[in-house]
Amino acid sequence: MSKRALTVTRQDNFPEWYQAVVREADMAETSPVRGCMIIKPWGWGVWERIQAELDQRIKDTGHENCYFPLFIPMSFIAKEAEHVEGFAKEMAVVTHHRLKNEGGKLVLDPDAKLDEPLIVRPTSETIIGDAFQRWIKSYRDLPLLINQWANVVRWEMRTRLFLRTAEFLWQEGHTAHADQADAMAETRKMLEVYREFSESVLAMPVIAGEKPANERFPGADNTFSIEAMMQDGKALQAGTSHYLGTHFAEAQNIQFQNAQGQLTLCHTTSWGVSTRLIGGVIMTHGDDDGLRLPPKIAPRQIVIVPMLRDKPEDAELIAYCGTLENDLKAFGIRVLVDVKPTKSAEKRWSWVRRGAPVIVEIGGRDATGNNVTFMRRDRLRDGDKVVSHTKPRAAFIAEAPALLAEIQASLFAEAKARLDGNITREIKNFDELSAHFGATEGDDEAGPFKGWVLVPWSEPEGERLEAIVDRLKALKLTIRNAPLEQGKVEGSCVFTGMAATSNILIARAY
Amino acid sequence: MSKRALTVTRQDNFPEWYQAVVREADMAETSPVRGCMIIKPWGWGVWERIQAELDQRIKDTGHENCYFPLFIPMSFIAKEAEHVEGFAKEMAVVTHHRLKNEGGKLVLDPDAKLDEPLIVRPTSETIIGDAFQRWIKSYRDLPLLINQWANVVRWEMRTRLFLRTAEFLWQEGHTAHADQADAMAETRKMLEVYREFSESVLAMPVIAGEKPANERFPGADNTFSIEAMMQDGKALQAGTSHYLGTHFAEAQNIQFQNAQGQLTLCHTTSWGVSTRLIGGVIMTHGDDDGLRLPPKIAPRQIVIVPMLRDKPEDAELIAYCGTLENDLKAFGIRVLVDVKPTKSAEKRWSWVRRGAPVIVEIGGRDATGNNVTFMRRDRLRDGDKVVSHTKPRAAFIAEAPALLAEIQASLFAEAKARLDGNITREIKNFDELSAHFGATEGDDEAGPFKGWVLVPWSEPEGERLEAIVDRLKALKLTIRNAPLEQGKVEGSCVFTGMAATSNILIARAY
């Protein structure tokens, strides 16, 4: 074994390190279906926690969950395509509804060709909009606040587990409102829900802001995002919230009778986060020993490994661990006693790689001395040395909830310091920007850590914006967002030289 | 308004009554996508409760949740088709991954034709089996106990909301074991989980038993089911559990090295329940006023309707309802105060139709007298008259958990009496069977209530069984299962005249 539990370090090769964590933490694997992943129990457990925590927040803000069809008629997509520039067309298309046996071979049955192809939903604006159009009659029906948890499919050429897959899981909120003010308030409210959720549950600090025009969701008037800084300095867009104006309402005839009896178009919003968040958690908290999970999303917060020796005393050890488990569960802690028939050291390291927040190892001396020996995954080592602590059983149990809260806070603090400390604000012009991020050649995957820059911006649109986007693209850079908290706006735009009206974040990104 | 809240009664037209409940209880609606439903918030809330309760049981029995791809390569299906007779071929097939704009029209892009078509999963044995084949190496890896919650698609020609839809939601358990005994124990254990869940959570009594050979899942050695009796006397298969022998292991090469070092085929199982359960709940508990929901799956167990009058006193009423809500929530009860701008009577009846277990109406006199006036949805009427009760506030709150438990028990008792009282055991031969169920013509949808029959059975197989199945089919009857609790087996088989070896249930079915 190398000095660390993984054979590749973040420093040496960040993309390979990422793949190693996904694999060694048993989170997910590629499937025989192009671009689709298999989410394994430990990865799924994280997603279950994410769902539970976020779903509660979505309900607490007045939304109701529904479920809409997986398939969307092609005519719906065509209608949207007419209204929405930049409409993406890479999607899975169902054309037949039967297979038949022909000469011992299974083939498409040409008699079972669909009259109208069906699209596997890439997002559900159109099919939900169609329902809104039927459900909404009067201002009394507004706001209509709906969310769904679903799988969606977007045909992607280059895929990476969790970060970009053909099929992924997400929640998509869709709401309709009587006017712009109400719809914009909703858009901002859900952005704030995402920010708070990301920081307090995922321990992943983010910057919430508005996307520039070129990064808007097709059909949106305004797109907001939360952006997180990964340990290679790249940005990950972790969630988006869109104010769609009346574009979708027009395309789908979503109207209501207002209090004065007039038919009026609704203003709609949509917002979503996906399994991509799990990739963000890995790249925010992982270290060279594997994953480190914030306790709030760890499927098991404390894992107890009895140091079994295939001897009669094992039964006593297991009994000791069992009562420890029960006492911890009484606090609502998610605990596992790992009695798999594997060597204790192997089990320890498998839980280190999976990122269980607290790993307890119980040997004979602990049991007889009524002690608990444990490791904190967030502070596993002192230098190269693995650090373990021993405490009286009663004290360990009494302090366990506080210990988990401390680990949650320490993971957040570490990531927050990284984010705050790596946003450069001194860039004055494009040359400095270019110099800061280094040569254009070189692998964008494994470039040296450069963090983000915050630069003055004059909010150009149209062709001028496109030209800037192209220049940035040559440096593998993108505009992330204009932070909601702008601070001081001064000086001139690094691109146009005109007086700045806001500040924007620029970074390499996933 | 008619004497009841629905315009059609169970007696007059059961299928129309079913549709009316689904619609009037706001559970679901048809979508513009053939055979696919939209599950509305109240219906989805029921499914969330079903998921939460069943998921806990699946985890408590040692299973872990995963997620596998939506798509299955056609070659996987072809391999299965070779091994599995009776393989169903009605499935949604993805053939292209892009649309393009041609002369202003959106069409399939012929350049984006997939080399191998992808099937939208109708069930996941093949894709999960492929993972099992990779994951399982030694007897130490067994048993492997996996479950997933997912959407699946089966192209159905005649669809009915919840009961039979092209897309539906379900959980599918897939497990691999070292030998037949262990796999069969798992199959039976999950059948028992379904039975207990159905009875204690859905308040839906069932008969657990084994399906005859003709009703087995293709590729299964044994298929077990739970069968519930609907209010029209028809049976609903509410869950199945399959022992698959080594058939799928053979087709997919799922092998393990046993303790003696020999490569050995695994024995596998699969088991599932779906959104169909919601249809079963409706047809078990609904009445002519709409749905009646068992408290354990009601999204809101107590709904409080303040009788607002658009007057200044309304604020006091709402405040009174708010404290009532909080006090009930402290007991873990799911409560809603309905302050929608609609007339109180309309709100009352909407909650009656939706089947909220307890509907509270608070008027000025309740608030000043510190009382609570409420209706029990399970016993809404005395004759035609709606019954409401008034209790001191403190007593109502203190007794609320017990009241909900009583409603849960009373719904179960009512359904259990119906099931127990409507299984005829005196049928001696086919003529009596035929006479019992009446003429072959006549609508199988709305025939008079005949319940089920339990008859002696000699367990014929092959062509003899097929002939019997055909005779039953002419009477629109099917064999449901051979109950696990057989009671006395005596006399001769009503079909073959041979000595009976077991008893089977026969019924019309969904």
CA atoms within 13 A on the CB side of A208: 19
A295-411 — its CATH code? 3.40.50.800
Could you count the other beta carbons within 10 Å of the beta carbon of residue B250? 13
Phi, psi for A127 (deg, rounded to 5): -75, -30
Q: Is A388 helix (H, G, I), strand (E, B) or coil?
A: coil
Burial class (CB in 10 A: 0-12, 13-18, 19+), B202: buried
A151 in B contact zone (CB under 8 Å): yes
pLDDT at res. B82 = 74
Closest CA to A46 of A169, A148, A189, A159: A169
pLDDT at res. A1 = 42
- The mean pLDDT of B460-474, rounded to a whole number, is 94
A461 in B contact zone (CB under 8 Å): no
Q: What is the pLDDT of residues B331-348, one digit of tens each?
A: 999 999 999 888 999 999
A165 CA: distance to closest CA in chain B (Å): 11
C-beta separation of A280 from A228 below 8 A: yes
CA–CA–CA angle A35, A36, A37 (5° rounding)? 120
Distance CA B101, CA A88 (A): 11
Closest CA to A217 of A386, A86, A396: A86
Query: Considering only alpha carbons, which residue of chain B is nearest residue A74?
Result: B106
* Residue spans in chain A of domains classed CATH 3.30.930.10: 14-94+120-285
Tell me: pLDDT of A444 over 60.
no
A428 CA: distance to closest CA in chain B (Å): 43
Q: What is the pLDDT of residues B95-118, one digit of tens each?
A: 999 998 887 788 899 999 999 999
Query: Considering only alpha carbons, which residue of chain A is nearest residue B90?
Result: A98
**Percentage of chain A with pLDDT > 90?**
89
Could you count the other beta carbons within 10 Å of the beta carbon of residue A382? 8
**Percentage of chain B with pLDDT > 90?**
89
pLDDT at res. B449 = 80
Closest CA to B477 of B447, B502, B498: B447
Tell me: pLDDT of A225 over 50.
yes
Tell me: pLDDT of A169 over 90.
yes
pLDDT at res. A339 = 93
Closest CA to A174 of A97, A37, A336, A63: A63
pLDDT at res. A87 = 63
B95 in A contact zone (CB under 8 Å): yes
CB contact under 8 A, B38 and A66: yes
Which of the following CATH numbers is that of domain A14-94+120-285: 3.30.930.10, 3.30.70.920, 2.70.98.20, 3.40.50.150?
3.30.930.10
* Residue spans in chain B of domains classed CATH 3.30.110.30: 423-507
* Alpha-helical segments (H) within B286-343: 314-329
Contacts of A341 in chain B (CB under 8 A): 140
Distance CA A72, CA B35 (A): 12
Distance CA B150, CA B67 (A): 8
Distance CA A9, CA A287 (A): 8
Mean residue pLDDT of chain A comes to: 94
Phi, psi for A151 (deg, rounded to 5): -95, 145
How many residues would you count in chain A? Answer: 510
> Could you say which of A77, A96, A146 has the minimum Cβ distance to residue B106?
A77
Distance CA A184, CA B487 (A): 66
Q: What is the pLDDT of residues B358-394, one digit of tens each?
A: 999 999 999 999 999 999 999 999 999 999 999 999 9
C-beta separation of A139 from A256 below 8 A: yes
Amino acid occupying residue A167: E
> Which residues share a beta bridge with B267?
B177
Tell me: pLDDT of B443 over 70.
no
Tell me: pLDDT of B488 over 60.
yes
Burial class (CB in 10 A: 0-12, 13-18, 19+), A506: buried
Distance CA A419, CA B450 (A): 71
The overall pTM is greater than 0.90: yes
**Band of pLDDT at residue B2, cut at 50, 70 and 90:** very low
Closest CA to A96 of A78, A116, A76, A77: A116
Q: What is the pLDDT of residues B237-279, one digit of tens each?
A: 999 999 999 999 999 999 999 999 999 999 999 999 999 999 9
B131 in A contact zone (CB under 8 Å): yes
What letter would DSSP give residue B245?
Answer: T
Buried b (16+ CB within 10 A) or exposed e, B2-33: eebbbebbbeeebebbbebbbbbbbbbbbbbb
CB contact under 8 A, A81 and B106: yes
The region, left, alpha or beta by phi > 0 then psi within -120 to 50, assigned to residue A280 is alpha
Mean residue pLDDT of chain B comes to: 94
Least confident piece of the model among A74-88, A243-257, A295-309 = A74-88
B140 in A contact zone (CB under 8 Å): yes
C-beta separation of B269 from B222 below 8 A: no
Q: What is the pLDDT of residues B163-174, one digit of tens each?
A: 999 999 999 999
Distance CA B342, CA B212 (A): 53
A80 in B contact zone (CB under 8 Å): no
Distances (CA, A) of A75 to A72, A87, A104, A443: 8, 14, 36, 42
pLDDT at res. A105 = 84
Omega within 30 of 0 (cis) for the link into A41: no
pLDDT at res. B1 = 41
CB contact under 8 A, B72 and A33: yes
C-beta separation of A302 from A331 below 8 A: no
CATH topology of domain B423-507: Translation Initiation Factor IF3 (3.30.110)
CB contact under 8 A, A45 and B65: yes
CB contact under 8 A, B76 and A105: no
What letter would DSSP give residue B292?
Answer: -
Distance CA B217, CA A285 (A): 46
CB contact under 8 A, A33 and B66: no
B14-285 — its CATH code? 3.30.930.10
Most B CBs within 10 A among A71, A102, A108, A141, hence the mutation to make, goes to A71
> A436 CB contacts (<8 Å, ≥6 apart)?
A424, A427, A450, A453
CA–CA–CA angle A137, A138, A142 (5° rounding)? 100
* Residue spans in chain A of domains classed CATH 3.40.50.800: 295-411
Which of B 39-68 lie inside 8 A of A, CB atoms? 39-41, 44-45, 47-48, 64-68
C-beta separation of B180 from B205 below 8 A: no
Q: What is the pLDDT of residues B404-430, one digit of tens each?
A: 999 999 999 999 999 999 999 999 999
CB contact under 8 A, B108 and A117: yes
Q: Which helix (H) or strand (E) holds A366?
A: helix A364-369
Q: What is the pLDDT of residues B122-161, one digit of tens each?
A: 999 999 999 999 999 999 999 999 999 999 999 988 899 9
- The mean pLDDT of A485-497, rounded to a whole number, is 94
B129 CA: distance to closest CA in chain A (Å): 12
Closest CA to A91 of A122, A116, A63: A122
Token pair of A454 as six digits: 């915050």
Closest CA to A254 of A269, A241, A232, A272: A269
C-beta separation of B132 from B173 below 8 A: no
Contacts of B36 in chain A (CB under 8 A): 69-71
Q: How many CB pairs under 8 A join A and B?
A: 181
Distance CA B346, CA B24 (A): 12
pLDDT at res. A102 = 81
Q: Which CATH architecture has domain B295-407?
A: 3-Layer(aba) Sandwich (3.40)
Tell me: pLDDT of A445 over 60.
no
**Band of pLDDT at residue A446, cut at 50, 70 and 90:** very low
Token pair of A410 as six digits: 């320490």
Sole residue written with tokens 């940035």: A472
Distance CA A289, CA A355 (A): 9
Which of B 298-317 lie inside 8 A of A, CB atoms? none
What letter would DSSP give residue B26?
Answer: T
Interface ipTM:
0.95
**Band of pLDDT at residue A489, cut at 50, 70 and 90:** very high
pLDDT at res. B85 = 61
Q: What is the pLDDT of residues A371-388, one digit of tens each?
A: 999 999 999 999 999 999
Q: SS3 letters for A266-330?
A: CEEEEEEEECHHHHHHHHHHCECCECCCCHHHCCCCEEEEECCCCCCCHHHHHHHHHHHHHHHHC
Most A CBs within 10 A among B97, B134, B148, B338, hence the mutation to make, goes to B97
pLDDT at res. A104 = 79
Q: Which helix (H) or strand (E) holds B390?
A: strand B389-392
Radius of gyration of chain B (CA): 26
Distances (CA, A) of A9 to A19, A42, A127, A401: 11, 22, 45, 32
Closest CA to B99 of A98, A115, A94, A108: A94
* Alpha-helical segments (H) within B229-360: 247-252, 276-285, 314-329, 344-354
